[in-house]
Amino acid sequence: AEALGLPFVPPYLSGRSAEDFAGGANFAVGGATALSPDFFWENGVPAFRADTVHLDMEIEWFRDLLDLLCPGDVADEIDCMDMMSKSLFLVGEIGGNDYNLPLFYGVPFEKIRTFTPSIIAKISSTIAELVELGAKTLLVPGNLPIGCIPAYLTTYKSDMMEDYEPETGCIRWMNEFSQYHNKLLVDELENLRKLHPGVVIIYADYYGAAMEIFSSPEQFGIEDPLMACCGGGGPYGVSASAGCGHGDYKVCNDPQKYASWDGFHPTEATYKGIANGLLRGSYTQPPISTTSSCPQTTELASSLEYKVLYDM
């Protein structure tokens, strides 16, 4: 948003009128999943609460927003379709929370892996629904390298060197799982492009952009890529007795030197590195700077270097 000169979008649940959403809306909710709790209950994962927010609920909220923005007469409908065609839809990152609870509750990994096709199918049907409603430009991120998350590094700590990537220290099999999810997503996005040739569907490679940070953290000013800035003790700043905001936790002096904020979520320094990787075009397919349906992105190639340097 900063690089494109756009305002931050307000949370959908905080708005009341059409004016509140003049610049867009954010439907994200902490802990939200792609799939409903019913899916997990049916697959023997009881940890999900009945009130867990999921994609079907979020797309319903979006339809409610359209009713608010487009009351119903012909002029409003035309304006609404024009707005949809000129808007950028960020669909994701989605799926991480579908894996988090099962992984932390000890569900066998082979079982968790079987969830991925259903997660990808739900993302796909959501994109198709947005396209049907008039969306023309969609940015769809893949999953992050979960093997580099301090909480997972602590929970799945191993004495076997082959379980770790030598160049990063991340857990190999967990990163391979992230790549598996992303491969299925990329393949499905290609199918959607064939079904909707007039729509620009951009894949955002969060994994690749983030791995640059874990492979060469010093280039991003990061000194502790696998340590939580806010948390407990242990080699990764994560412990069972203390976490960020509870127990005897500690906060680092400079979050910009860490890749992880609380053992789960990236710091702003990490997000900035990922965003720069996407906006420069090397970690989006097709490159953002070559897309034409969203005017702001076509102007980005000439202005990005200035904006990034100004931001630093």
- Percent of the chain whose predicted confidence (pLDDT) is above 90: 74
260 lies in a domain?
no
185 lies in a domain?
yes
pLDDT at 312 over 50: no
pLDDT at 295 over 60: no
Mean pLDDT to the nearest integer, 131-137: 94
174 lies in a domain?
yes
Radius of gyration of the chain (CA): 20
pLDDT at 290 over 70: no
- In terms of Cβ atoms closer than 10 Å to its own Cβ (0-12, 13-18, 19+), residue 265 is middle
Identify the pLDDT of residue 76. Answer: 64
* Cα torsion through 153, 104, 162, 142, rounded to 10: -80
| pLDDT-based confidence at residue 74 (cuts at 50, 70, 90) | low
| CA dist list (Å): 84 to 153, 180, 294 | 42, 32, 11
Number of domains in the chain: 1
Answer with the residue of higher pLDDT: 69 or 293.
Answer: 69
Identify the pLDDT of residue 109. Answer: 95
pLDDT at 169 over 70: yes
Report which residue type is found at 259. A
Q: Which of 274, 268, 259, 30 is nearest to 150 (CA)?
A: 259
pLDDT at 291 over 70: no
| pLDDT-based confidence at residue 132 (cuts at 50, 70, 90) | very high
- Percent of the chain whose predicted confidence (pLDDT) is above 70: 91
Identify the pLDDT of residue 79. Answer: 79
Mean pLDDT to the nearest integer, 153-181: 97
Identify the pLDDT of residue 281. Answer: 66
pLDDT at 117 over 50: yes
Mean pLDDT to the nearest integer, 194-218: 97
Mean pLDDT to the nearest integer, 82-105: 93
- Express each pLDDT in 236-281 by its tens digit: 999 888 889 988 999 999 999 999 999 999 999 999 999 999 998 6
Identify the pLDDT of residue 241. Answer: 87
**Are the beta carbons of 243 and 262 closer than 8 angstroms?**
yes
pLDDT at 36 over 70: yes
pLDDT at 307 over 50: no
234 lies in a domain?
no
| pLDDT-based confidence at residue 75 (cuts at 50, 70, 90) | low
CA distance linking residue 154 with residue 171, whole number of Å: 10
Q: Considering the entire predicted model, what is its pTM?
A: 0.90
199 lies in a domain?
yes
244 lies in a domain?
no
Alpha helix segments (H runs only) across the chain: 37-42, 55-69, 74-86, 96-104, 109-113, 116-132, 150-155, 172-195, 206-215, 268-279, 295-298, 300-311
Q: Which of 111-115, 144-148, 297-301 has the lowest mean pLDDT?
A: 297-301
Range of the domain at 81: 2-218+266-290
Answer with the residue of higher pLDDT: 1 or 61.
Answer: 61
152 lies in a domain?
yes
List Cβ<8 Å contacts ≥24 apart for 96-103.
Answer: 96/143, 96/144, 96/146, 97/31, 97/32, 97/33, 98/33, 98/34, 98/35, 98/40, 99/146, 99/177, 101/40, 101/45, 101/47, 101/48, 102/40, 102/45, 102/47, 103/152, 103/155
248 lies in a domain?
no
